Structures are given as C-alpha cells and as structure tokens.
Amino acid sequence: MSSFFQNFRKIPTISVFYVLVMIIALSFTVASYMHYNTLTSNLNTQIKNLENIYVEYKLPKEDVLNSSDYERLQRDYNSQTLWVIGQYLVFLVILGFGTYQVKASLDREMNLARQQKNFMLSITHELKSPIAGIKLAMETMLSRELDAPKRKLLSSNALKDSIRLHDLVNNILMAAKIEDESFEFKASRQNLSSLTSEIAKKLQETTQANRAFTFDIKDKVFIEADRMAITSIVTNLIENAIKYTENGDAVIIRLREEANKVRLSIIDTGVGVAEHEKQNIFQKFYRVGDEEVRKTKGTGLGLFIVKQLVERHKGTIGVGDNQPKGSIFTVVFPVAQLDKTDSSGAVMMG
C-alpha cells in the first residue's frame, strides 16, 4: 500500500488535474444526456396517453398532432430541452474558464518553483566561487613565504572576490527591500556622467574578464535620483554586459541628454536576447536556459532590480538588438524638478 501511494505521488500534478477535469466534464455530460432522455421519454409517454384518450372517445388518432394539448406538450418539451442545453453550455464555459485559471496558476507556481530552484543553484555557485578564491589566497599567503609581487597579486584577487561577494549580497538585500517596499528613496542632484564613468572604471579594474570599454559619455548630465539606486542600476547593467560580451570585445557605455530626456545605453556584443525572451528577462529569478548547464554567472536578480529601480524613478528600460550581434539596454530618465524636500533637503521618492 505504501508503495502505491509513493508511486501515486510521482504522478505530475497537472496530469491529475486534467484527469479530474475530464471526470467532472464526463459526469455532467452523462447527467445532462440522461436528463434529456428523461424529457424525451416523458414526452413520448404523454403523447401516447393523449392518443389513448382520442381512441377512447373514438376520435381520429391523427388529430392528436393538430391539437392544442400536443402543441403545449411540444412547447414544454422544447423549453425544458433548451434549459438542459443552456445549463450544459454554461457549465462547459465555467469549467473551461476555471480550468484555464487553475492551469495558469499552476504554471505560475511551477515556473516560480523552477526559478527558485535555479536561483538556489546559482546563488550557491556565486557564493562558493569567491569564498573559495578568498580562502585559497589567504591560505597561500599564510602558508608560504611569498615575494611582494605574488602577495600583491593574491591580495588583488582576494579583493576582487570580496567585491563580487559584496555586490551579490547587496543585490539580494536590494531585491528583498524592493519586494517588501522598505527601500527609502531620497533624490538629490546627481552627476550621472561622472557616476557612470566612475562605476565603469571600477568594474573594469576589478573584473577578472578581459573586456574593453568604450566610453561615449556626455559631460555634466544631471538627474534627480537616489544615489544608491542609480549606482545599483548602472552597476547591474554594466556587469550584465560584461557577462555576455565575448573575451576581448568591447562594452560600449553611451550617455546622452536629448529632448528633455536622459538616455543611458549599455551595449554588448554577446549572444543577444531572443525576441520571445525580451518580455521575461526583467522578471525576478528569470534567466535564459537551465541553471545546471548555464555557463554565465548570475542569480537572475540584476535586471529585475534595474527595472524596479528605474520605474521608481519614473523612467523606462528596454532592450534592443545590437548589430551584428549582442544587445542594447537603454534606460531613459525624465528631466524632473525637485518639488518636495525633507528636513535634509533631499527629495522623498515613492
């Protein structure tokens, strides 16, 4: 008996759901058919009784079909038959709509469960790699007598891994704060030109990948924004471009102010984003492909955080195709004036 239940639990939930839907539909179909047969049988019985009455009174049996009683029986039968058919059609519509809603809900739950599984796999790898790198560097420096250049190299690698850990933890905390709406946005005048250049140069120095950077940044482009949020937006977009740009290729960072809009574009020469994936890449935990076979690093939080933070700043973000290959992520911020200040002079953003 226990083995039966164990085998039963292995049956996919969606399969059990479809079987139940089929049983319900079949049961109601049989019930409706039996109801229709009962109505037909009652009609035939009543017509037969009416014919017997005509015979008893020595009236022509054929006159039954032209009698008002027959017409009444036929009207009653037709109305009751239409009622049965109407009930059946309404049931099918409700069942179909309910099936669609439940199926959509199951798909969302299964998709979320799959994404969370992928997230756990990726976060384990993302945490394990820098921790192992830092541990190895520290053990090597403690166990051996190394000259200054080697110690500097190991320290530099350990620093890069610690920065990677720091950024990963910040992303997780930021995503959690965005989810429970506990992140407090304080807008102030930010020089997006210098901030973007500073972040890009820092990432260029600390990344272990061989990537060239091309800067096309207009000087003195200012926006009203939360500095921590904007730093997270720019960092995540550039890190995303680094991940998907091939070794030795350039990451292009472009910043322009045009038509009262500030436009920031991060351009890579990677594999690009398929058209059917473009609407999903900003979802939490979403990553293209299977986590168990995917080679690129990441947790599926970066672009989710970017979209949420951009929208909090009343901006927009989109992804397009780079030619001949790669992607272009473009963030557009509106030019806005400060109108509400707190005691420190900063603007509180909703």
> pLDDT tens, position by position, for the chain (350 residues)?
455 445 545 567 778 888 999 999 999 999 999 999 999 999 999 988 988 888 887 788 778 788 888 899 999 999 999 999 999 999 999 999 999 998 888 888 887 787 777 777 777 777 888 888 899 999 998 888 888 888 888 898 888 888 888 888 888 888 888 877 777 778 888 899 999 999 988 887 776 566 778 889 998 888 888 898 999 999 999 988 888 877 767 889 999 988 888 999 999 887 778 887 887 888 877 766 544 434 556 677 888 889 999 998 889 999 888 888 888 999 999 875 544 444 344 444 44
Residue 79 in tokens: 């109305």
CA pair distance 104, 111, nearest whole angstrom: 10
SS3 of the chain = CHHHHHHHHCCCHHHHHHHHHHHHHHHHHHHHHHHHHHHHHHHHHHHHHHHHHHHHCCCCHHHHHHCHHHHHHHHHHHHHHHHHHHHHHHHHHHHHHHHHHHHHHHHHHHHHHHHHHHHHHHHHHHHHHHHHHHHHHHHHHHHCCCCHHHHHHHHHHHHHHHHHHHHHHHHHHHHHHHHCCCCCEEEEEEEHHHHHHHHHHHHHHHCCCCCEEEEEECCCCEEEECHHHHHHHHHHHHHHHHHHCCCCCEEEEEEEEECCEEEEEEECCCCCCCHHHCCCCCCCCCCCCCCCCCCCCCCCCHHHHHHHHHHHCCCEEEEEECCCCCEEEEEEEECCCCCCCCCCCCEEEC
Amino acid in the structure at residue 100: Y
Query: Where are the domains positioned within the chain?
Result: 2-113, 118-179, 185-349
| pTM confidence score | 0.61
Q: What is the architecture of the domain spanning 185-349?
A: 2-Layer Sandwich (3.30)
Burial class from Cβ neighbours inside 10 Å (0-12, 13-18, 19+) for residue 39 reads middle
Based on C-alpha coordinates, what's the Rg of the chain? Answer: 35
333 forms beta bridges with 262
Buried b (16+ CB within 10 A) or exposed e, 164-173: bbebbebbbe
Closest CA to 124 of 302, 306, 291: 291
